[in-house]
């Protein structure tokens, strides 16, 4: 007995269009998978937001986003310091009116002078990134010497901005600001914000470079270009907004 297969009707223009769309979508999906595999293999971890953060990684395309996620959670921030072998001790919680040091830490060997100031954890971690991947490379490249110390004027101070009674609280009131006055090099030289910021010499170039690096990492970076009150230091804080002056 001979079977006769039914004759299918010709595809309509709409069916042909959907078939073409499905084929194109499949090709795009395969291309996306191949591209993702290539990026995963070729791109460095500091450029990939899904890769874990590490202080050993140089600054990359995803560094800022990774830091923002980590520093938004104090417990996670401290966990990262521990995982990265950054020595620190918890600082005693202190409250004075609108001022507090709750959740702050004291870094161990962070090349700060004076050593071990009280710092909120997000400031401490961001400082470590800045020191390791901005300040130290700039010192070697521009000044031909390793960094010895970062000289600062303090972190915590219970006060409003500029000490004015009618101003909003300073970031120093929560230990989330660091005032950097200068840098000491391994060869004995000292670089001062007050003395060396303006000029065409290597010291001025170094200060400009570390300021630009700070602008990327910290919330607000204020220096001699901002006003006379910052003529002798860089103010680095963890403001939620970005200000680079």
Partners of 120 in the beta sheet? Answer: 104
Query: Which position has the higher pLDDT, 180 or 42?
Result: 180
Cα(145)–Cα(188) distance, rounded to whole angstroms?
A: 9
| pLDDT over threshold 90, residue 231 | yes
Partners of 151 in the beta sheet? Answer: 113, 182
Q: Where are the alpha helices (DSSP H) in 72-201?
A: 74-83, 121-130, 136-138, 193-196
Q: Has domain 91-244 been given CATH number 3.30.1380?
A: yes
Alpha carbon distances (Å) from 65 to 51, 69, 71, 100, 153: 11, 6, 10, 27, 29
Asked if 150 and 132 touch (Cβ cutoff 8 Å), the reply is no
Asked if 176 and 238 touch (Cβ cutoff 8 Å), the reply is yes
| pLDDT over threshold 70, residue 64 | yes
What pLDDT is attached to residue 148? 98
| pLDDT over threshold 90, residue 229 | yes
The dihedral through the CA atoms of 63, 192, 152, 113 has a sign that is: positive
- Domain boundaries defined on the chain: 91-244
What pLDDT is attached to residue 163? 79
Q: Where are the alpha helices (DSSP H) in the chain?
A: 13-42, 63-71, 74-83, 121-130, 136-138, 193-196, 202-217
In this predicted model, what pLDDT tens digit does every residue of 113-149 receive, in sequence order? 999 999 999 999 999 999 999 999 999 999 999 999 9
The DSSP output letter for 218 is S
Phi, psi of 187 (to 5 degrees): -85, 5
Cα(123)–Cα(126) distance, rounded to whole angstroms?
A: 5
pTM over 0.85: no
Which residues contact residue 58 at a Cβ distance below 8 angstroms, ignoring those fewer than 6 apart? 44, 46, 133
In this predicted model, what pLDDT tens digit does every residue of 73-125 receive, in sequence order? 999 999 999 999 999 999 999 999 999 999 899 999 899 999 999 999 999 99
Longest distance between any two alpha carbons in the chain, whole Å: 105
| Cα separation of the two ends of the chain | 92
Q: Where are the alpha helices (DSSP H) in 85-201?
A: 121-130, 136-138, 193-196
Segment (H or E) for 221: strand 220-222
Cis peptide before 114 (omega within 30 of 0): yes
């Amino acid at each position: 007995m001979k079977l006769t297969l039914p004759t299918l009707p010709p595809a309509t223009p709409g069916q042909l269009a959907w078939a073409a769309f499905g084929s194109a979508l499949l090709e795009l999906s395969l291309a996306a998978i191949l591209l993702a595999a290539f990026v995963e293999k070729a791109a460095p971890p500091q450029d990939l937001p899904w890769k874990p953060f590490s202080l050993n990684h140089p600054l990359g395309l995803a560094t800022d986003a990774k830091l923002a996620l980590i520093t938004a959670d104090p417990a996670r921030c401290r966990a990262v310091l521990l995982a990265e072998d950054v020595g620190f001790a918890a600082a005693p919680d202190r409250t004075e009116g609108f001022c507090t040091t709750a959740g702050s830490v004291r870094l161990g060997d962070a090349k700060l002078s004076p050593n071990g100031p009280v710092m909120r954890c997000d400031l401490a971690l961001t400082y470590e990134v800045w020191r390791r991947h901005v300040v130290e490379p700039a010192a070697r490249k521009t000044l031909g010497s390793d960094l010895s110390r970062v000289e600062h004027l303090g972190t915590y101070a219970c006060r409003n901005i500029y000490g004015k009674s009618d101003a909003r609280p300073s970031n120093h009131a929560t230990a989330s600001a660091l005032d950097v006055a200068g840098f000491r090099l391994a060869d004995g030289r000292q670089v001062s914000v007050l003395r060396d910021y303006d000029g065409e010499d290597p010291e001025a170039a170094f200060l400009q470079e570390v300021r630009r690096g700070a602008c990327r990492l910290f919330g607000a970076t204020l220096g001699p270009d901002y006003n006379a009150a910052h003529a002798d230091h860089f103010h680095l804080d963890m403001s939620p907004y970005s200000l680079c002056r």
